[in-house]
């Protein structure tokens, strides 16, 4: 066995590789959480939309780098805390959250309505969901029993996003059909897509933990 393979095997035996994997997944979630904070700042009027869009481009690069590092590590390590395929699926879903957030921020800047406050509730629910997802990932190795509760909380945040989108559409449908209404509808749909990706990430982790328990 080569020296590098022996080193990887030793790291696996001591649990180091698994913790590095978990750390990189958490890094991805942290980047997505930064993107959500940028979008929320713009929705609350605390951040200029053009500035949020420019900053989001930088955040997206950080997310791509974190995912690339994780994928490279998964190709090298001999053991992972959950099924390797589920880790890829989880990582991809987190990356999709960030991609959809990028599109939302860009569209809000390009053709968004004057007031983005209607999006604040959805973005706050997203931020809370990402916090719970990070808690679930953090618990995978040392406290696997806590993962189920955190995943459930992530799913509840996704459900809250869907409910807020439905309420927002209901309010829009009481108004005259104009360009502002159409813009808001498009942005609500984009945020619902963000929520779907969050739910997919929660599902990936839940499936992985179920496999691990068998």
What is the rounded CA–CA span in Å between residue 16 and residue 94? Answer: 23
Say whether pLDDT at 13 is over 90.
no
* CA 113 to chain centroid: 25
- Percent of the chain exceeding pLDDT 90 equals 80
CATH number at residue 38: 1.20.58.220
First to last CA, the chain: 31
Residues 71-98 have pLDDT tens digits of 999 888 878 889 999 999 999 999 999 9
Give the pLDDT score at 67.
96
Say whether pLDDT at 17 is over 90.
no
CB under 8 Å to 104, separation ≥6 — which residues?
39, 119, 187, 190, 191, 194
Instruction: Please spell the DSSP secondary structure of 25-66, one letter per residue.
Output: HHHHHHHHHHHHHHHHHHHTTSS-HHHHHHHHHHHHHHHHHH
For range 32-39, the mean pLDDT: 98
Domain that holds residue 13: 3-213
Q: How many domains does the chain have?
A: 1
Average pLDDT, the chain: 91
Say whether pLDDT at 107 is over 60.
yes
Contact call for residues 79 and 17 (beta carbons, < 8 A): yes
- Percent of the chain exceeding pLDDT 70 equals 92
Q: How would you classify residue 207: left for phi > 0, otherwise alpha for psi between -120 and 50, otherwise beta?
A: alpha
Nearest to 24, CA basis, from 137, 130, 128: 137
For 149-177, give one letter per residue: b (16+ CB within 10 A) or e. ebbebbbebbebbbebbeebeeebeeeee
Give the pLDDT score at 211.
86
Query: pTM value?
Result: 0.90
Angle in degrees, 0-180, between the axes of helices 16-43 and 84-111, rounded to the nearest 10: 20
For range 45-61, the mean pLDDT: 95
């Amino acid at each position: 066995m080569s020296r590098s393979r022996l080193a990887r095997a030793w790291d696996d035996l001591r649990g180091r590789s698994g913790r590095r994997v978990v750390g990189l997944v958490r890094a991805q979630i942290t980047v997505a959480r930064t993107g959500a904070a940028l979008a929320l700042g713009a929705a609350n009027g605390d951040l200029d939309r053009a500035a949020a869009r420019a900053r989001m481009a930088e955040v997206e690069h950080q997310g791509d780098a974190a995912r690339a590092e994780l994928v490279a590590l998964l190709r090298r390590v001999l053991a992972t805390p959950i099924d390797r395929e589920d880790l890829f699926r989880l990582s991809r879903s987190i990356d999709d959250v960030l991609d959809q957030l990028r599109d939302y921020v860009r569209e809000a800047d390009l053709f968004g309505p004057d007031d983005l406050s209607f999006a604040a509730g959805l973005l706050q629910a997203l931020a809370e969901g990402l916090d719970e997802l990070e808690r679930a990932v953090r618990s995978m190795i040392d406290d696997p029993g806590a993962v189920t509760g955190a995943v459930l909380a992530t799913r509840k945040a996704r459900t809250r996003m869907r409910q807020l989108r439905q309420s927002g559409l209901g309010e829009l449908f009481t108004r005259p059909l104009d360009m502002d209404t159409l813009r808001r509808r498009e942005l609500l749909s984009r945020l619902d897509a963000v929520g779907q990706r969050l739910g997919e990430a929660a599902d990936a982790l839940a499936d992985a933990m179920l496999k691990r328990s068998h």
